[in-house]
C-alpha cells in the first residue's frame, strides 16, 4: 500500500534494541494498543547524563517499529541534552523518509523520548489541555493548529498522516478542515457542503473515491476492491486479489477504505465487506 525506503525495511525486519531495561533511568509510554499503535521506551543513563542504552517495545505497523528502532540507534551514546533536541523530522530523515500517512509513527517516537527524559529528570508531564478535536486519538485543537503551522500541512490527509487525527471515525474532519483553513488564511475558502446527498450523488462520489484514491493504493499490494451496494450510510464492498485473503483485511476496510470514503464523501459512512 505504501512505498518504504530500504532503511525502513531493514529496521522493520531487523529491529535494533528490542526489549525493556529492567531498572531504567527513564521510561516513556505513548499511544494505545486499542488505537493501533503503542510504544514503550526505556533508557539507561549514566552519572554523566549519557544514554548508555535504550530499548523499545512497540505494538504497531512497520513504520512504528522502524521509527522506534531508528530512535534507539540515534540516541545511544548521546547526552540527555543532545537527545532532547531530536525531533520526529530527524527520525524521518534518519530512515530516508516515511510515507506521509505514517509520519505519526515518528511523532510517537519523539513523544516517547520526551516522556522518558522527563521521567529521568523527575518532571511530571501535565495532561493535555484544550479542546479535544479528534476523540479517537485524543488530539487537541492546539496540537493540530501547531502541526499545520510548523509543517505546512494543507489537507486532512496531511494532518492524519502527521498526528493520526481524523484517522478513526472521521467525525472530526470538518473541524480539522476549519482549523487548516484558519491557520493557512483560507477562511474564505468554500467549505464542504453540508446538504444531504442524493443516493445517486453519493454512489458517484463513492465510485470516484474508489477509482482515484483507494484502488491505486490496494493495487500496489496486489489487491483490489469492488463496490457491491450502497444502502443509506452503509457501503458494501468486495475485496479482491491479495486483499481478499489478507489477515489484515478488516484493518484495511476500517483504516483505509472507510476513513478515505468518510473524508471524500460523507463522515457517517460505514464500510462492510460482502459475504457473498
Instruction: Tell me the catalytic residues.
Output: 35, 105
| CB atoms near residue 40 (< 10 Å) | 20
| Cα torsion through 205, 208, 213, 218, rounded to 10 | 110
234 contacts 270 by C-beta, under 8 angstroms: yes
The rounded distance, in Å, linking the Cα atoms of 145 and 147 is 6
Strands 234-241 and 270-273: parallel
Q: HSE on the CB side for 174, CA within 13 Å?
A: 10
Phi, psi dihedral angles at 44 (to 5 degrees): -115, 110
Amino acid at each position: 500500500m505504501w512505498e518504504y525506503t530500504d532503511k525502513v525495511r531493514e529496521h522493520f525486519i531487523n529491529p535494533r534494541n528490542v526489549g525493556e531495561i529492567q531498572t531504567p533511568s527513564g521510561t516513556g509510554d505513548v499511544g494505545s494498543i486499542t488505537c493501533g499503535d503503542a510504544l514503550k521506551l526505556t533508557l539507561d543513563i549514566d552519572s554523566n547524563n549519557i544514554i548508555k542504552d535504550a530499548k523499545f517495545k512497540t505494538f504497531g505497523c512497520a513504520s512504528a517499529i522502524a521509527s522506534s528502532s531508528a530512535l534507539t540507534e540515534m540516541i545511544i551514546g548521546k547526552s540527555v541534552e543532545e537527545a532532547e533536541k531530536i525531533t520526529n523530522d530527524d527520525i524521518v530523515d534518519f530512515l530516508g523518509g516515511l510515507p506521509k500517512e505514517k509520519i505519526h509513527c515518528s511523532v510517537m517516537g519523539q513523544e516517547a523520548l520526551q516522556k522518558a527524559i522527563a521521567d529521568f529528570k523527575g518532571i511530571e508531564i501535565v495532561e493535555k489541555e484544550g479542546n479535544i478535536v479528534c476523540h479517537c486519538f485524543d488530539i487537541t485543537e492546539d496540537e493540530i493548529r501547531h502541526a499545520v503551522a510548523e509543517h505546512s500541512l494543507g489537507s486532512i490527509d496531511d494532518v492524519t498522516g502527521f498526528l493520526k487525527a481524523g484517522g478513526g471515525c472521521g467525525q472530526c474532519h470538518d473541524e480539522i478542515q476549519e482549523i487548516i483553513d484558519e491557520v493557512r488564511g483560507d477562511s474564505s475558502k468554500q467549505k464542504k457542503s453540508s446538504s444531504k446527498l442524493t443516493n445517486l450523488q453519493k454512489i458517484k462520489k463513492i465510485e470516484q473515491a474508489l477509482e482515484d484514491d483507494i484502488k491505486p493504493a490496494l493495487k500496489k499490494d496486489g489487491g483490489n476492491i469492488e463496490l457491491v451496494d450502497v444502502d443509506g450510510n452503509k457501503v458494501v464492498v468486495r475485496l479482491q486479489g491479495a486483499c481478499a485473503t489478507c489477515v489484515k483485511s478488516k484493518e484495511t476496510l476500517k483504516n483505509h477504505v472507510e476513513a478515505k470514503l468518510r473524508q471524500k464523501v460523507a463522515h457517517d459512512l460505514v464500510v462492510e465487506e460482502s459475504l457473498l
